[in-house]
Amino acid sequence: MTAQIEIPGYSLVNKIAEGGMATVWKACQEKLDRVVAIKILLKQADSDQQEYERFIYEARAAASLIHPNIVQVIDAGEHDDFLYYVMEYVPGPTAGDLVDSNGPLPEAQVLQIGLEVAEALDYAWRDHHVVHCDIKPDNLLLHRNGRTKIADLGLAQVLGSEGVAIDDDMTLGTPNYFPPEQALVEDSLDTRSDMYALGATLYHLGTGTIPFANLPPDEVASQQVHGQIPAPKEINPKLTYGFCAFVERLMAKDQQHRYDSWDDVMSDIMRVRDGQVIRAPLAAKIRSTIQHTRMPTHLEKKGKVIVRKRGAPPMKPLHSQEDGHRARVSVNADALSRNRNPYIKQQAPNIWPAVVLLGGIAALLYGYTFLF
């Protein structure tokens, strides 16, 4: 393929990755004699116009963001048979590669990655109204210098602007990480949708287990709406209660139960890092995709210093680490009872009127039997 692709001003060194639609190359920018990465979309006879528009949208969205934790776009262009954009080259693995080869990462490292991603998403949302829509370990590049960089704005949306039209019934994304509202193709996507995906990402990095792994994409999407996964501590007992409560809140089923702002996310990351509980853990009755972890009472009361529960044997993860489905796909939302997110309107049934009524009947019967 190298032989067929020539980009004036750049010489391709080697292919880094080949995705469904595009390939990423390591290259040299000849004039400046520096290493860059180039993402190339080959036009094929049967390719769809939407794909090109999406790619241009991706390049522009990425180019509009200038932040130390987002891969910088530096150039773009078009040839007869391909489109491309040029980025800074990030030497180092993706967070996905790292967890694949090393297993769960230490909590401190997971929190550091979370903090940097939160800073970048805060900037993207506050200054540009951008929602990334595909936060996952494979899209987080870990630079050798220790910095995390968000890549792949292929699904990003600039809210309030005209995006690239996609089929109304389809949702694009990576089901293992996307939130219920993305599975249901609701219009309510906002930066809290990225918070959920960040929660799923940190869950994967801290436990080594992909949420709802080994299920077909439609089923994973349905599980994001209805299902639950074990608390992180049940899979990796080294994780703190603070970490569990934090990720549980990020992955609340209903957007309004997640954080109101990235500032709150970042300050809770720092609290967890300092061994404290988060400021407002979810109550047990509020549904999250993560099963509720009940904190030991003394911690709940003190509100600080998380200690580790000793001696508890690790529980077997529900799903194995093998993953066949973490690639981005499109899912038909009709299969998921479209526009019906049960966590938005439905609350737990109120049983008290029934209890009072039955109590009243019992009292009447008792009175009737003994008084008459």
User: Taking CB within 5 to 8 Å according to partner kind, which of ligand ADP, Mg ion, none is near residue 156?
Assistant: none
Cα distance between residue 194 and residue 125, in whole Å: 10
The residue from 23, 29, 94, 139 that contacts Mg ion (CB under 5 A) is 139
Q: For ligand ADP, give the closer residue by CB, 17 or 280.
A: 17
User: Taking CB within 5 to 8 Å according to partner kind, which of Mg ion, ligand ADP, none is near residue 16?
Assistant: ligand ADP
Question: Are 110 and 150 contacting, i.e. CB atoms less than 8 angstroms apart?
Answer: no
Q: For Mg ion, give the closer residue by CB, 152 or 254.
A: 152
User: Taking CB within 5 to 8 Å according to partner kind, which of ligand ADP, Mg ion, none is near residue 278?
Assistant: none
Question: Are 250 and 273 contacting, i.e. CB atoms less than 8 angstroms apart?
Answer: no
Q: How many CB atoms lie within 10 A of CB 301?
A: 8
Name the site residues for ligand ADP (rule: CB under 6 A). 16-17, 19, 22, 24, 37, 39, 71, 87-90, 94, 138-139, 141, 151-152, 154
DSSP per-residue letters across 213-258 = TTS-HHHHHHHHHH--B--HHHH-TTS-HHHHHHHHHHTBSSGGGS
Min dist CB 120 to ligand ADP, Å, is 14
Active-site hit among 33, 48, 134, 152: 134
User: Taking CB within 5 to 8 Å according to partner kind, which of Mg ion, ligand ADP, none is near residue 220?
Assistant: none
Whether 134 is a known active-site residue: answer: yes
Q: How many CB atoms lie within 10 A of CB 24?
A: 18
Min dist CB 152 to Mg ion, Å, is 4
Q: What phi-psi label fits residue 149: left (phi over 0), alpha (psi between -120 and 50 degrees) or beta? A: beta
Q: For Mg ion, give the closer residue by CB, 133 or 195.
A: 133
Number of residue whose CB is nearest ligand ADP: 19
Place of tokens 């929660």: 199
Q: What tokens does 183 get?
A: 């599975």
Q: For ligand ADP, give the closer residue by CB, 141 or 189.
A: 141
Check residue 122 for interaction with Mg ion (CB under 5 A): no
Would you give the distance in Å from CA 233 to the centre of its chain? 19
Would you give the distance in Å from CA 255 to the centre of its chain? 13
- Phi, psi values for residue 82, rounded to 5°: -160, 160
Min dist CB 88 to Mg ion, Å, is 16
Q: Answer positive or negative: Cα dihedral of 83, 88, 92, 95.
A: negative
Question: Are 51 and 21 contacting, i.e. CB atoms less than 8 angstroms apart?
Answer: yes
Q: Taking contact as CB under 5 A, which single stretch among the options 62-70, 83-91, 105-113, 137-145 is the one that binds Mg ion?
A: 137-145
User: Taking CB within 5 to 8 Å according to partner kind, which of Mg ion, ligand ADP, none is near residue 182?
Assistant: none
Chain residues binding Mg ion by CB under 5 A are 139, 152
State the catalytic residues: 134
